[in-house]
Amino acid sequence: MTLKKQLPANLHPAQVRGALTAVIRKTLGAEKTFNAKGWLNIGLAGEQPGLADVYITTGSLYLCAEIFLPLGLSPADEFWSAPEMPWSSVKIWNGANAELDHALDLRQFRMP
């Protein structure tokens, strides 16, 4: 949604950058994230094969690479250039009030 410039009005690109950075650091920085050959292991934070459904394969793990789509944005884009901002969960865990979150009707967004 960031790459397509279709974020909800109440969500700033800098918040998305911060949240995605936290996810990348937590997931890719966990011990045993990669096997001896450098491939991703099944798991959210390291090797956690118990989290896998029967249809999960090593190739399935690379769907997470979508997190890197913002790399397609220009360095001057607001996503990269705006000052850091706390994302929703940071605000909430620090006691700030937040707007009620609702499911998105994805049909409202343009697809390529």
Stronger pLDDT, 86 or 58, i.e. the higher one: 86
Q: Tell me the pTM.
A: 0.78
Domain residue spans in the chain? 13-97
Residues 86, 96: Cα–Cα separation, whole Å: 11
Residues 81, 92: Cα–Cα separation, whole Å: 24
Averaged pLDDT, 74-89 = 94
- List, in sequence order, every residue forming a beta bridge with 60; answer none if it has no partner: none
